Structure 1
Amino acid sequence: MSEDANGGRSERDPADQPPVVVKIGGAKAVDPAGAVGDVATLAADGRAVVVVHGGSTVVDEVIERLGMEPEYVESASGVTGRFTDGETMEAFTMAMAGKLNTELTALFREAGVDAVGLSGVDGGLLSGPRKSAVRVVEDGKKKIRRGEHSGKIESVNADLLEGLLADGYTPVASPPMEGKESDGGVTPVNADADRAAAAVAGALDADLVLLTDVAGVYADPDDPGTLIESASTPEELAAVESAAEGFMGKKVMAAKEALSGGSGRVVVSDANVDDPIVAALGGAGTTIEHTAIVEQAETEGETA
């Protein structure tokens, strides 16, 4: 334990710092090796870490192996996402909870991390109402598609995570989530992994690191030289939101949800650099501070 001049624990002591939730992207271009090594280092130093992972690429591969075609739809708000019918949901569960979660947990254990793999259904880790129908835009027309298996996370079993962390384990979590039916039933359903990580980070008052295959949010999405390094005011956050396109828009949305839920800061950063998590926590990538949300809420309250 490190001590400061007054004999107390140093602010740099990992055990004194908030937990960190690390979201590892599921794109093929994301190499988890650096993140695995960093989690091992942080956990060995006493920092509480929760890992959340995605897996869109592998899900698509499993769907295709089963002779189906991945289907993506545009929502009424302009966001593109996977349409998850019953057969697709089976493939999703096989890929995420069966294959990816097990393989990633094995990588962490090989690195000396006492990792525990969990799906969002386990212990009601991630739960909320199931959406069985979604509004989509097809050929410029708004339609309702039924048979959907997705949900909005409304609760996180923080006690489960805190209990595992207190016992020295590192949770490795992924969708599916626990979808609650109107009749009281429970159905495993799809949930966005970035937003799942955001919900976990908010519930634990944790720092959130969203690892992806680019350096962060660019002011010009086509120019890596325009990286936005930080946002700590509503105006700076608005600039980040304006610049974020495509998949990056979902990450910024997740960042706002995490900060609103209680996270102190969110970093969007490159998974493929050396020591990616340590680098992100040290200032690499795009850091969005809690003050950007707090000041925004205060400003909205004044104008209401």
Structure 2
Amino acid sequence: MKRENILVEALPYIRKLHGSKVVVKCGGHAIVNEETMENIIKDIVLLRYIGIEVILVHGGGPEISRVMNELGIKPKIVDGLRITDEKTMEVVRMVLIGNVGTELVSKIGSYGGKGIGLSGKDGRLFTAIKKGKKKVIVEGVEKEIDLGYVGEIDSVDPEMIEVVSSKGYIPVISPIAVDDEGRSLNVNADTVAGEIAINIGAKKLIMMTNVDGVMEDPDDEDSIFSKMTPEYAENLKDEGVVEGGMIPKVDSCMKAVRNDVEKAHILNGERPHSLLLELFTDEGVGTMIHKG
């Protein structure tokens, strides 16, 4: 396609999104890849320049594990869940807010944008309650474990986001919440992104991950579902097609769409400029969840 045709194709999408809010969540796998992260940041800054208010929520699981290993702290993961004791929470806070958050703000600045780092603790942006004990299967035996300083979103106050975003800043949000006792709690970044999208009245929620979207067969790139309703996504969960790390992403997308977020998307952040391709082209490149 000629360059001018690409721009013409993008025009109606740009016009529709101008002045709206879009929440983008980047997973830890994208963050540890320098080239992938730079492409995503370029896209985000471009969106801000054409009048779209972007809110960036980030994870950082692989980086947390790397730093813990360097410090001689063995990560404790049971049934895919990170056990977050006091020492682990210190590392999580240091990595997400001190390392990843500040690096993303710096990258935004290097491409002409204005980023500002936030967490749930800033202005009580989002509060959480400590999760209780969870039953898991370990070596075929059911056990009850305490996840430690892991929280579930209790409330969201979007005022801080609205204030900084209205001044042209791109909020960069770490998924660290605060509880009523002032303790830091680690919250799933997919959940944080979805709850923020709902509470700020976002038009779109976008999950950037390391796969092309929701696929019937993970080994078959042609089996991707380009569009689906929340009801259809729920059926895929029940059938076991949606599993593992894709579950919280799909759950957040379904909840967002059911709570007046117009559309939610799951994209492969490792594909160059997938964010722009999904938002501004007719075909798109990932999985879109919509009301139907």
TM range (shorter): 0.7 to 0.9
Using the TM superposition, give the Cα deviation of residue 250 of structure 1 relative to its aligned residue in structure 2, in angstroms: 2.1
C-alpha contact (below 8 Å) 1:134/1:145 kept by paired residues: yes
Corresponding residue number in structure 2 for 1:19: 21
Q: Tell me, what secondary structure is at the counterpart of 1:149? A: coil
Matches of 1:133 and 1:98, distance apart in 2: 29
Q: Tell me, what secondary structure is at the counterpart of 2:81? A: strand
Corresponding residue number in structure 2 for 1:39: 44
C-alpha contact (below 8 Å) 2:19/2:51 kept by paired residues: no
C-alpha contact (below 8 Å) 1:133/1:144 kept by paired residues: yes
- The letter for the 2-side match of 1:96 is L
**Count of residues paired in the alignment:** 273
Q: How does 1:116-135 map to 2 (within 5 A)?
A: 116-131=116-131, 133-135=133-135
Matches of 2:173 and 2:28, distance apart in 1: 13
C-alpha contact (below 8 Å) 2:97/2:174 kept by paired residues: yes
Q: Tell me, what secondary structure is at the counterpart of 1:153? A: strand
C-alpha contact (below 8 Å) 2:230/2:257 kept by paired residues: no
Q: Tell me, what secondary structure is at the counterpart of 2:24? A: strand
Give the TM-score normalised by the residue count of structure 1: 0.83
C-alpha contact (below 8 Å) 2:210/2:268 kept by paired residues: yes
What is the aligned counterpart of 2:209 among 209, 212, 234? 212
C-alpha contact (below 8 Å) 2:215/2:221 kept by paired residues: yes
Alpha-carbon spacing, 1:233–1:159, altered in 2? closer, same or farther (3 Å): closer
C-alpha contact (below 8 Å) 1:265/1:289 kept by paired residues: yes
Using the TM superposition, give the Cα deviation of residue 142 of structure 1 relative to its aligned residue in structure 2, in angstroms: 3.0
What is the aligned counterpart of 2:195 among 199, 213, 216? 199
C-alpha contact (below 8 Å) 1:40/1:108 kept by paired residues: yes
- The letter for the 2-side match of 1:149 is Y
Corresponding residue number in structure 1 for 2:179: 179
Using the TM superposition, give the Cα deviation of residue 146 of structure 1 relative to its aligned residue in structure 2, in angstroms: 3.5
C-alpha contact (below 8 Å) 2:265/2:286 kept by paired residues: yes
Q: Tell me, what secondary structure is at the counterpart of 2:150? A: strand
Q: Tell me, what secondary structure is at the counterpart of 1:108? A: helix
Q: Percent identity?
A: 29
Matches of 1:202 and 1:88, distance apart in 2: 30
Cα deviation, 1:274-297, whole Å, max 9, x if unaligned, reads 322112224220000034xxxxxx
Pair 1:267-2:265 in alignment: yes
Using the TM superposition, give the Cα deviation of residue 139 of structure 1 relative to its aligned residue in structure 2, in angstroms: 3.0
Q: Which moved more, 1:41-50 or 1:11-20?
A: 11-20
Matches of 2:140 and 2:236, distance apart in 1: 29
Q: Which moved more, 1:12-21 or 1:85-94?
A: 12-21
- The letter for the 2-side match of 1:274 is P
- The letter for the 1-side match of 2:67 is V
Corresponding residue number in structure 1 for 2:288: 287
Pair 1:226-2:223 in alignment: yes
Q: Tell me, what secondary structure is at the counterpart of 1:186? A: coil
Using the TM superposition, give the Cα deviation of residue 199 of structure 1 relative to its aligned residue in structure 2, in angstroms: 0.9
What is the aligned counterpart of 2:250 among 249, 252, 258? 252
Corresponding residue number in structure 1 for 2:4: none
Once superposed, what is the RMSD of the aligned Cα atoms? 2.1
C-alpha contact (below 8 Å) 2:128/2:179 kept by paired residues: yes
What is the aligned counterpart of 1:276 among 268, 274, 277? 274
Q: Which moved more, 1:54-63 or 1:271-280?
A: 271-280
Matches of 2:232 and 2:87, distance apart in 1: 44
Q: How does 1:102-113 map to 2 (within 5 A)?
A: 102-113=102-113
Cα deviation, 1:154-211, whole Å, max 9, x if unaligned, reads 212211111111111110001211133xxxx111111111111111111122101101
C-alpha contact (below 8 Å) 1:231/1:240 kept by paired residues: no
Which structure carries more relative contact order (alpha carbon 8 Å, separation 6+)?
2
Corresponding residue number in structure 2 for 1:93: 93
Using the TM superposition, give the Cα deviation of residue 223 of structure 1 relative to its aligned residue in structure 2, in angstroms: 1.3
Using the TM superposition, give the Cα deviation of residue 128 of structure 1 relative to its aligned residue in structure 2, in angstroms: 1.8
C-alpha contact (below 8 Å) 1:89/1:149 kept by paired residues: yes
Alpha-carbon spacing, 1:236–1:127, altered in 2? closer, same or farther (3 Å): closer
Matches of 2:28 and 2:288, distance apart in 1: 21
Matches of 1:11 and 1:57, distance apart in 2: 34
Matches of 2:231 and 2:17, distance apart in 1: 31
Matches of 2:289 and 2:208, distance apart in 1: 14
Corresponding residue number in structure 2 for 1:52: 57
Q: Tell me, what secondary structure is at the counterpart of 2:91? A: helix
Give the TM-score normalised by the residue count of structure 2: 0.86
Q: Tell me, what secondary structure is at the counterpart of 2:179? A: strand
C-alpha contact (below 8 Å) 2:24/2:208 kept by paired residues: yes
Matches of 1:217 and 1:281, distance apart in 2: 17
